[in-house]
Amino acid sequence: MAERRACPKCGALLPANAPAGICPSCLMQAGLDDEAPRAPIDATAPVGRFVPPKPDELAGHFPQLEVLELLGQGGMGAVYKARQAGLDRFVALKILASDAALDPAFAARFLREAKSLAKLNHPNIVAVYDFGQHEGLYYFIMEFVDGLNLRQVIRSGQCQPNEALRIVPQICEALQFAHDEGIVHRDIKPENILLDKRGRLKIADFGLARLHTQTDYTLTGPWQVMGTPHYMAPEQLERPLTVDHRADIYSLGVVFYELLTGELPLGRFAPPSEKVSIDARLDDVVLRSLEKEPQRRYQQAGDVKTDVETILHSPAATVAEATRSVAVLPLVNAGGDPSAAYFCEGIADQLINSLSQLRRADLKVRPFAAVAAYHGQVVNARTVGRDLNVQVVVTGRLYLEADDLSISVALVKARDNSQLWGQQYHGKRSDILALQVQMAQDVAASLRLDLTSEEEQRLTRRDTHDVDAYLLYREGMHHWNKFTEERTRTAIEYFERALAKDPRYAMAYAGLAQCYAQLGNLYLPPHEGYPKAKEALAKALALDETIVQVHVMLAFIALSYDWNWAETEQHLHRATHLDPSYAAVHGVRAGYLAAMGRLGEAIGERMRAKELEPTAFRGLGLAGAYLLAGQYEDAVAEARQTLLRADRFFLARGVLGLGLALQGNHDEALAELQTASAHANGHPQILGYLGVAYAIAGRAENARSILDELMQIPRRLPGFAFHVAAIHTGLGNHDEAFQWLQAASAERYVTMIFLRFDPLFEPLRGDPRFRQLLIEIGLSRDDSGQSDCGSLLE
Amino acid sequence: MVISARNNSPESREALESLCIAYWQPLYVYARRRALDDNEAQDWTQAFFTELLEKNYLNSVSPERGRFRAFLLTAFKHFLTKEWDKIKAQKRGGGCAPISLNFHAANSAIHIDPASGLTAEQHYDQEWAISLLDRILERLKAEFGAAGKAVYFEELKGFIIGDHAGTTYADVAARLNITEEAAKKTGSRMRSRYREMLREEITQTVASPDEVDDEIRNLFAILKL
């Protein structure tokens, strides 16, 4: 190969594929240089409040018009009523208070925007008849709307909620039309929405906000009126020049809220139905339009219209519905004795299990993991209903004093916080098992589930008849839920004590297995945790073959530790049969599909798991699946959403940071990973990601010092070798990377099964040693050149 | 982007397809980073374009308004996510490719340094920038060729990036047997024609002409990685 030449201009070495042998970056730069010279900014130009010309001052500019009166003025300019003599019609003349003198690009921008506005022909959009520039005066001649703007209507107090419901769909229609034409309004607010005398709605000033420069948006800028931020989507305030049509949908939400309640949705605002008497289903429409993240909002204005009209035309649903969805919240510990906390969780968990055991298609019960976060919180049923997407919320209070137990339980309709049913239970601590059975029966009855006798049996089934064993099991679960190593070991003790009381307590074995799997996953070498988990699962299975958790855990261990795909499938098959709506079934299947390279299906299963169990943990799973698929934008969005509900969840922040790094957004990536690292207390996964992010950002020195830090941690947690390998890969040390990957493989570290598509090891993919590793894991066959683990499934 | 898939007319779809095909090589570079070997990367790339042309794949992908560069890569990723395990079977099933992509030529032109520390996305972006510049210079060369001035292009192309120490107008003028003044004039015309073509091409790939400068700066930054 010829020796590489240096660019005579910038001195960089020319790449082998330099276009026509010329330095590509200098070529690119040449596209920028020598732009039309910018007009010098005239510092003496008046930068102050816009003073609109008087009507007669305009006469010379517009010989075709008879300018009659000034209708209004704002930061963007002034509007006059005028008569177009030839056509004998009234028109609105808009003069732009342009900063044209300061901005030579204005003319081009004006022309482009005006042309596209003139094409917007819709009954709910103010028509643009003509536009142009005369002696530096930029103008539009528009349809004259004889009526009021929505601000005036709101102020007059004439806007009843049903009037709002007539107005909003018309706004939606106009917005949808414009969005389809690729035009975003950017400044939807009551002042820009007009109602003529016949009640027809017209939106004015489409896209005009774009004509003005960024400085106009600030409150302190010269154009005060322009700067009202209350109607602007959060992203519009942050990045005003890059917003899309969803910013208009946010503004529409603000207008909608204001029309219904007369107030702006500021800070922690109440849903509209709490302020005024309206169908509470409208809350969802308004709140969804007002979501902070554009991707959580309605994606189309037309969908807002559809939902509003559906609500208008269907009567509010009655109590008995075809499908009931229920969330049972942990009970409130009203006595205040902290040792009763596990009771409060336990009763909810047990009730959830009993109702889930019914396996009825018309009953959806949110799993305990989804409600656990509400423990110890005072919550509103309506909020829970929205967050977990359920119609009915079961709440309760518990008093435990010495040996006396009092429990009150209520069924609350999420839509309007109304109580559907309530009951008190009293007894001794030792009566808990009987009380729980009674509670499950009462709740089922109040949900109007007509149970068959077989369902009745399943509902009232007891996992143990020994109260002491049950209470020990409950305490064990309470500790297990805390996830730390110490609490997990404490949980093991409780489960073992429960088993000493009742050796036939299958659920206690399942609990034990969960603990060992957790230790093997996070704190112990996998070969110290997983075999013990398997042992406990075998015992649970022998006692009761119908526990879905047991089969899911067997599937998880077969997948992530034994790397036995056939066995994974068998256990998943059985688990699905037992309870297809158990979120973990979908989570483990997603892992299996991702290992097999079926990434699209894996993402689908992760979505399903999250839908069934809307928790941060499931959000993390989905974000991770996107990462494997190379869909970094989606991974970042999902991780951000997850962090909204669990700010200190360092694994989610880790995925966020890695996703940003892989997108090339280095500064933000490093900031997130440093935060994650502060939360993670030396977790190898976060240090690994941080090292990789430094390497990708070209900061090899920092990456090496992270590597040193990782090597100096005395206790090598699971994943240590894997993440050391990742940093070496980032640094280009491929030999070391393979050595450490071998070690991770020998350790049977769980994420090795995703190696085929793991973005951390992308640079190794072409290396024959990489294929060899895949063969060892069982993800590729050694059939020379057939690089296809998908074929194993055929 | 200027050519919007929202507009489903055959012309606009055709235009979109031809734009996709113009940038197949960057996608292949991306595929090479994610695939185990060249064969697999070729299967993926070929399958994507087959799908693109035969099954109107772009109809099922909604392009957010914005950079075409990002859109094409996203479409490819989504395709791989959904179809990855099916591509092999499809290939075995035979069928003839509607478009012939010259992987052989591409392989000799593309040099991926596995230790460069760049991600697959960054390789894609760099290759995109190179493909873009290649296209412009080819067109520029063809224009000069059509005017019977191919030799002018060869001699003066170095001045597209401005004056520099490499060579002087005086040298070039002597070789072309014209005055230095004439050489300067032609060089400057070539330079402005180049800029015009580059900006026009980039306009095709961004949401609005406002973003052209921004895209040029992005691509410049990518090339400097």
Dist. CA A632–CA A618, nearest whole Å? 17
To the query of whether residue A187 is one of the catalytic residues in this protein, the response is: yes
Q: Give yes or no for B114 touching A (CB within 8 A).
A: yes
- Choosing from A412, A437, A462, the residue where a domain stops is A462
Q: How far is A35 from chain B (nearest CA, A)?
A: 10
Residue A624 — very low, low, confident or very high, per pLDDT cuts 50/70/90? very high
Mutate to test the interface with B, among A5, A7, A10, A17 (most CBs of B within 10 A): A17
Same domain, A286 and A352: no
Please determine, for residue A556, whether its predicted confidence score (pLDDT) is greater than 80: yes
Mutate to test the interface with A, among B62, B126, B133, B196 (most CBs of A within 10 A): B133
Please determine, for residue A794, whether its predicted confidence score (pLDDT) is greater than 80: no
Same domain, B140 and B198: yes
User: Contact, B23 vs B81, CB < 8 A?
Assistant: no
Same domain, B85 and B125: no
Which residues in chain A are closer than 8 Å to B134, comparing Cβ atoms? 19-20
Same domain, B15 and B80: yes
- Choosing from B107, B141, B172, the residue where a domain stops is B107
| DSSP assignment letter at A133 | E
Tell me, yes or no, whether B112 lies in a domain.
no
Same domain, A81 and A120: yes
Same domain, A275 and A209: yes
Q: Give yes or no for B32 touching A (CB within 8 A).
A: yes
Mutate to test the interface with A, among B73, B76, B85, B118 (most CBs of A within 10 A): B85
The pLDDT of A273-299, averaged and rounded, is 84
Q: Rounded mean pLDDT of chain A?
A: 84
Q: Give yes or no for B9 touching A (CB within 8 A).
A: no
Span B158-183, pLDDT tens digits: 899 887 767 888 888 998 899 999 99
Same domain, B102 and B154: no
Q: Give yes or no for B65 touching A (CB within 8 A).
A: yes
Same domain, A424 and A399: yes
Q: How far is A32 from chain B (nearest CA, A)?
A: 7
Would the CB atoms of A770 and B36 count as touching at under 8 Å? Answer: yes
Q: Give yes or no for A26 touching B (CB within 8 A).
A: yes
Nearest to A788 among B88, B119, B165 (CB): B88
Which residues in chain A are closer than 8 Å to B167, comparing Cβ atoms? 8
SS3 A425: strand
- Choosing from A282, A313, A344, the residue where a domain stops is A313
Please determine, for residue A34, whether its predicted confidence score (pLDDT) is greater than 60: no
Residue A366 sits in a domain whose CATH number is 3.40.50.10070
Which residues in chain A are closer than 8 Å to B64, comparing Cβ atoms? 244
Span B66-91, pLDDT tens digits: 578 888 888 888 888 877 767 665 55
Residue appearing with tokens 């992203």? A235
Higher pLDDT, A215 or B15: B15
Would the CB atoms of A762 and B120 count as touching at under 8 Å? Answer: yes
Dist. CA A471–CA A498, nearest whole Å? 8
Residue A661 — very low, low, confident or very high, per pLDDT cuts 50/70/90? very high
Q: Give yes or no for A207 touching B (CB within 8 A).
A: no
Which residues in chain A are closer than 8 Å to B210, comparing Cβ atoms? 109, 241
- List the one residue out of A650, A629, A647, A628 whose CA is nearest residue A751: A628
- List the one residue out of A735, A777, A788, A717 whose CA is nearest residue A753: A777
Residue A248 sits in a domain whose CATH number is 1.10.510.10
Contacts 24+ apart (CB under 8 A), A75-80: A75/A50, A75/A216, A75/A222, A75/A223, A75/A224, A75/A225, A75/A226, A75/A227, A76/A205, A76/A208, A76/A209, A76/A211, A76/A212, A76/A223, A76/A225, A76/A226, A77/A50, A77/A52, A78/A50, A78/A52, A78/A53, A80/A55
Tell me, yes or no, whether A341 lies in a domain.
yes
Q: Which of A102-111, A316-325, A525-534 has the highest mean predicted lDDT (pLDDT)? A: A525-534
Look at residue B26 in the predicted model and tell me its pLDDT: 92
Q: Give yes or no for A299 touching B (CB within 8 A).
A: no
SS3 A143: strand
Q: Which of A56, A103, A130, A187 is catalytic?
A: A187
Look at residue B98 in the predicted model and tell me its pLDDT: 56
Would the CB atoms of A762 and B223 count as touching at under 8 Å? Answer: no
Tell me, yes or no, whether B91 lies in a domain.
yes
Nearest to B34 among A9, A23, A630 (CB): A630
Tokens of residue A64, six digits: 């075709």
Number of domains in chain B: 2
- Calculate what percentage of chain A has a pLDDT beyond 90: 38
Tell me, yes or no, whether A270 lies in a domain.
yes
Q: Residues of A numbered 657-676 whose beta carbons fall under 8 angstroms of chain B's beta carbons: which are they?
A: 662-664
Please determine, for residue A420, whether its predicted confidence score (pLDDT) is greater than 50: yes
Q: How far is A27 from chain B (nearest CA, A)?
A: 6
Would the CB atoms of A180 and B160 count as touching at under 8 Å? Answer: no
Would the CB atoms of A633 and B74 count as touching at under 8 Å? Answer: yes
Would the CB atoms of A765 and B33 count as touching at under 8 Å? Answer: yes
Would the CB atoms of A23 and B161 count as touching at under 8 Å? Answer: yes
The pLDDT of A60-69, averaged and rounded, is 81
- Choosing from B79, B107, B135, the residue where a domain stops is B107
User: Contact, A466 vs A502, CB < 8 A?
Assistant: yes
Same domain, B93 and B154: no
Please determine, for residue A135, whether its predicted confidence score (pLDDT) is greater than 90: no
Q: How far is B58 from chain A (nearest CA, A)?
A: 18
Residue appearing with tokens 């189309």? A300
Tell me, yes or no, whether A521 lies in a domain.
no
Tell me, yes or no, whether B55 lies in a domain.
yes
Please determine, for residue A553, whether its predicted confidence score (pLDDT) is greater than 90: yes
Would the CB atoms of A15 and B32 count as touching at under 8 Å? Answer: no
Please determine, for residue A223, whether its predicted confidence score (pLDDT) is greater than 60: no
Residue B116 — very low, low, confident or very high, per pLDDT cuts 50/70/90? low
Same domain, A367 and A289: no
Would the CB atoms of A30 and B194 count as touching at under 8 Å? Answer: yes
Please determine, for residue A3, whether its predicted confidence score (pLDDT) is greater than 70: no
Span A599-616, pLDDT tens digits: 888 999 999 999 888 888
Q: Give yes or no for A788 touching B (CB within 8 A).
A: yes
Q: Residues of B numbered 154-173 whose beta carbons fall under 8 angstroms of chain A's beta carbons: which are they?
A: 157-158, 160-162, 164-167
Please determine, for residue A720, whether its predicted confidence score (pLDDT) is greater than 60: yes
Please determine, for residue A715, whether its predicted confidence score (pLDDT) is greater than 70: yes
Residue A70 sits in a domain whose CATH number is 3.30.200.20
Same domain, B100 and B174: no
Tell me, yes or no, whether A350 lies in a domain.
yes
Tell me, yes or no, whether B1 lies in a domain.
no
Look at residue A625 in the predicted model and tell me its pLDDT: 95
Instruction: Give me the domain span that covers residue B140.
Output: 119-225
Phi, psi of B65, rounded to the nearest 5 degrees: -65, 135
Would the CB atoms of B84 and A26 count as touching at under 8 Å? Answer: no
Span A313-359, pLDDT tens digits: 766 544 345 567 899 999 988 887 887 888 888 999 999 988 888 87
Q: Give yes or no for A782 touching B (CB within 8 A).
A: no
Number of domains in chain A: 5
Which residues in chain B are closer than 8 Å to A700, comparing Cβ atoms? 117
Would the CB atoms of A8 and B166 count as touching at under 8 Å? Answer: yes
Same domain, B61 and B101: yes
What ipTM does the predicted assembly reach?
0.87
Residue A758 sits in a domain whose CATH number is 1.25.40
Would the CB atoms of B39 and A600 count as touching at under 8 Å? Answer: no
Tell me, yes or no, whether A190 lies in a domain.
yes
B165: nearest CA in chain A?
Answer: A8
Sign of the CA dihedral A524, A528, A530, A535?
negative
A27: nearest CA in chain B?
Answer: B161
- List the one residue out of A195, A37, A32, A4 whose CA is nearest residue A104: A37
Which residues in chain A are closer than 8 Å to B191, comparing Cβ atoms? 30
The pLDDT of A660-677, averaged and rounded, is 92
Q: Give yes or no for B209 touching A (CB within 8 A).
A: yes
Same domain, A11 and A158: no
Same domain, A86 and A114: yes
Look at residue B89 in the predicted model and tell me its pLDDT: 55
Same domain, B85 and B123: no
Dist. CA A432–CA A469, nearest whole Å? 12
Nearest to A22 among B4, B89, B157 (CB): B157
Residue B115 — very low, low, confident or very high, per pLDDT cuts 50/70/90? low
CA A525 from centre of chain: 33
Same domain, B225 and B189: yes
Instruction: Give me the domain span that covers residue A207.
Output: 147-313
Same domain, A445 and A334: yes
Look at residue A731 in the predicted model and tell me its pLDDT: 93
Look at residue A708 in the predicted model and tell me its pLDDT: 94
Q: Which of A209-213, A463-467, A724-728 has the highest mean predicted lDDT (pLDDT)? A: A724-728
Same domain, B138 and B54: no
Which residues in chain B are closer than 8 Å to A33, comparing Cβ atoms? 162, 195
Same domain, A335 and A293: no
Tell me, yes or no, whether A689 lies in a domain.
yes
Look at residue A48 in the predicted model and tell me its pLDDT: 44
Same domain, B64 and B124: no
Q: Give yes or no for A781 touching B (CB within 8 A).
A: no
Give kind and range of the element (H or E) at residue A412: strand A404-413
- List the one residue out of A353, A350, A366 whose CA is nearest residue A414: A366
- Choosing from B107, B137, B158, the residue where a domain stops is B107
The pLDDT of B23-30, averaged and rounded, is 90
The number of C-beta contacts closer than 8 angstroms across A and B is: 177
Look at residue A362 in the predicted model and tell me its pLDDT: 79
Dist. CA A181–CA B217, nearest whole Å? 28
Please determine, for residue B138, whether its predicted confidence score (pLDDT) is greater than 90: yes
Would the CB atoms of B220 and A16 count as touching at under 8 Å? Answer: no
Same domain, A387 and A414: yes
Span A625-653, pLDDT tens digits: 999 999 998 999 999 999 987 888 899 99
Same domain, A71 and A194: no
Same domain, A264 and A173: yes
- Choosing from A313, A340, A368, the residue where a domain stops is A313
Q: Give yes or no for B55 touching A (CB within 8 A).
A: no
Nearest to B82 among A32, A600, A664 (CB): A600
Span A169-203, pLDDT tens digits: 999 999 998 888 888 888 888 888 998 877 789 99
Higher pLDDT, A413 or A362: A413
Same domain, B11 and B91: yes
Please determine, for residue A489, whether its predicted confidence score (pLDDT) is greater than 60: yes
Span A681-713, pLDDT tens digits: 778 899 999 999 999 888 999 999 999 999 988
